[in-house]
Every structure is written in C-alpha cells, then in structure tokens.
Structure 1
C-alpha cells in the first residue's frame, strides 16, 4: 500500500514477516509535516501488526533524507506552527523508539539534519559507502534540538558536538561506522540491498517476543523522550522565527 502526492510518498510492503517502509520526496527526500504524520501512523500500525516481526526503513533516489522541508520552514510565521512542525520529527522518533519491532535502516545516500535523526533512531543500520552525514541546522540559526537525543544516544556527545558545530562539513560513512551510527557499509548498492534483506530475514526467524523484549532493553533510559523531544521542538519553534534564521533561510533560497 502507498500514499502518494506532490508532498512525497510513503509505501509499505509486507513479505515473510518483514515490513519495508519506503519514503520519497522530490526535494531530496525531505519531510513536510504531512509525510512525517504518515510515517508516524504507519510505524504505530506496524508496531501492533502480528504478521510483522522486523521493519526495514529506506528511501528512493540518491539521497537518503535531507531532513525538514525547506519550503515549509520558510512558511512558518508563528510559534505554534513552528513547534508543531518540529514536533513532527519528535513524533517519528518516538514512534521508532516505542515500536515493538526492531527497525533496520538502509541508508543508500547522504543524510542531513533530520535524516541523521532518522538513521540514529533505527535499531541497526547498514549504509552505502557514499552515505555521508551532516547537521546543517546551526548555520541557519536553529539547531538539531529534536534529533539530538537520538543522535547522541548512537554516537555520543563528543561526535554529536563535532557534527553540530561543523554545519558545512560532511562526515564520511566510514566516520559514521567508527562512531556507531552505521553497523557496516558496502561498496555497491546491490550488496547493501542484499545484506540488509539477508540480515532482516535472519532476525525475522528469531522469537519475536524475545526481539521485542530486547528492544525495550536497548532503549532503556529514554522514557523521558515523551516530554523531552517536544520541549526541544518548542526551542526550534521559537528560534525559527528569529531575524537571523529568517535572513539565513532566504539567503539559502536565493
């Protein structure tokens, strides 16, 4: 099944107890609010689907995910709208965190901002050798507030600091493996596809109850994210209205 329109698409395929979520958007697979809401809803539905043991999260095209929709960022003119927009990423990360199924990320291309957050919220991730990462938020006057807990949990505060304070610097897929974001990287997309599916099939053959209980263990200590991520969304919602951000966004648009 799929949901497709000019705001991008989301497709779900279920086969052999493996659900594959594929997303896409014409603007480098960035996420407008509507697509974030659809992804959250699908994750919640799959969490309670007894025919699904494992989830693969992937996108189409050369870029994995460019983060928040640039056009939507430019359209924010009040605090409540800003907070609601950034809460979309909070919703998705919390849905990934509380999902009863393990989520494997297949990162076939570059990830920026919220895209790094998505990769970090996966329980396990394989990547293509060209899947470099960048957090560009500070350059436009905001910051990766909502995704920070997920990214720091994966790569640690020191690496998170490096990414945040070098908003124009790409870190390589090798760097991401070294820091723990990716479990492994592959030199060809064919190998990435094959290894991801092979790994998913192996996991899907294990006791699903054991996998669910292990997932709870993996995410211990994140129970406060139900409040924390929305507090962070409020910070971003306020900062996006600043003169600095308004000027920076319009410069980027030019």
Structure 2
C-alpha cells in the first residue's frame, strides 16, 4: 500500500489491456488531486489505439475504495470549495463514461460512498465476497447525489433507495451481484485475479471497433451527465456547509 499523502496512480499496458491502479493509505480514498489525475488518465488511455480494454483496480487486499478524502471534506469552508470538491467524482464518472474503452472493475474489498459510484461507473465488475458496499452520506447530513445516476443506472431506483436510506448498513457482495452492480463474485482474491485476467484477455481479442461501439450503446441516454453531475455537486457542496453536517463531521472526527 502506498504511503504517499496524495495517493498513487499507475498504468500498465500489456497485450491491449491497460490496468489502472490507484492507491491511498486511508483505505484507498481519494483526495481531490488523485481524482483529477485519474480523470485525466482515463481520458488519455481511452485515446490510445494500442489499448482495447481498461481494468480499474485499487492497491492492496483490503478496501477497494473509501470514497472521497475525509480531511478535505472537513476543511470545506464555502460554496465554491464544496462544489469543486464534489465535482471530483463527477469528473471521474464522466471520464469513465466517455473514454471510449470498456472498463472492467476489479473490486477486492469494501466500497463506501464514492467507491460505490466508481464501481457502478465500470462497464463490468468482478468482485470478491469481501466487497461489501455502503452509502453512508446521510449520516453526515449530505447524500450520494453525484454518484446516484451511476448507481441507479446499474441497480435501479429501489436498490439505490435501500443503499441510501439504510445509511448505516453494509450490503453484501452477493446482494450487489443480485442487484446488478457486480457481474460475478469469487471467494478469494486469488480467484478474482485469475478471472479478471482471463476475462480481460478475451475482451481484448475482440474487434476494437465493436468494443467501442458497444461502449456507446451501453451509455446511451447519459449525454446530459456533464450538466447533471455538476448540478448534483453544487447541491452537495451547499449541504456540506449546513450546521447539521458541520456538527456531524465534528462528532465523526472525534
């Protein structure tokens, strides 16, 4: 696991497969700088002709992603800072949507908040049974507004409501599979590693033009997401300044 305060991001390209790996010492959470780097990397890799498919993964064998940086969240002091902070995941989701390459998500452990949104924005997700998910935003006075379109697109409104309203409850990886967030769930990370490799190699062997066209088909109807997710970031940026949220964050930090 990386010890870098702003996290790490590495891309490895081999046999038409680009593996993008992110990491952060705080359960693979995302400071704004790392989100911006990931957004740019997705768009850059998406233009490479030698790449047919992207595998998105995080470092280590524990948490997949704990969402956005808690320290940065606590430090927000005005509307502009709030909108900019919550635009981080909005920009990454839009990059995943428009990069032109199919994205396989490799989820080895728990995902919270933005981490669930990240998994939902992948085109196909393989996970281990340790990959429980939770949307805990209500507990601090905000909501998963930015990632909601991506989550609802995968699991439907009813399951998104259950995740959001049951904000203190973890949903199992098998629940996530039943609802459509995960395609397959494996018992161990060793099995996950093997199956992701096999699946990525199969995809990379197909006609790249067909893969690209399928990406467009899968994301049809999301053309307004640049504006939609920006609006959602503004909503959350305002909520985070409320007295309720400020008090909740202080209690949470203690």
TM-score by length of 1: 0.98
1:4 and 1:10 in contact (8 A); partners too? no
Question: How many pairs align?
Answer: 252
- Spell out structure 1 runs of 4+ moving beyond 3 A: none
Contact 2:135/2:144 (<8 A) preserved: yes
Q: Which sections of structure 1, spanning at least 5 residues, go unmatched?
A: none
Q: Which residue of 2 aligns with 1:225?
A: 225
Alignment correspondent of 1:118: 118
Report if aligned partners of 1:140, 1:245 keep a CA contact under 8 Å in 2.
Answer: yes
CA distances 1:151-202 after superposition (whole Å, capped 9, x unpaired): 0000000000000001110000000000000000001111000000100000
**In the TM superposition, what are the counterparts of 1:178-193 in structure 2 within 5 Å?**
178-193=178-193
**What SS is found at the alignment partner of 2:246?**
helix
Q: Distance in 2 between matches of 1:28 and 1:242?
A: 27
Matched, 1:44 2:37: no
Q: Is the 8 A contact 1:30 1:65 kept in 2?
A: yes
1:34 is aligned to: 33
CA distance in 2, matches of 1:149, 1:188: 30
Checking the alignment, whether the CA contact within 8 Å between 1:76 and 1:241 is kept in structure 2 is yes
Deviation at 1:4, TM superposition (A): 8.4
Please give the secondary structure, in 1, of the residue aligned with 2:73.
helix
In the alignment, the residues of structure 1 paired with residue 246 and residue 68 of structure 2 have an alpha-carbon distance, to the nearest angstrom, of: 15
Give the Cα separation in 2 of the matches to 1:204 and 1:26: 32
SS of equivalent residue, structure 2 residue 156: helix
**Residue pair 2:137, 2:164 contacting (<8 A) in 1 also:** yes
Unpaired runs of 5+ residues, structure 2, are: none
Distance in 2, Cα, partners of 1:80 & 1:48:
31
Q: Does 1:53 align with 2:20?
A: no
TM-score when scaled to structure 2? 0.98
Root-mean-square deviation (CA, aligned residues, Å) is: 1.0
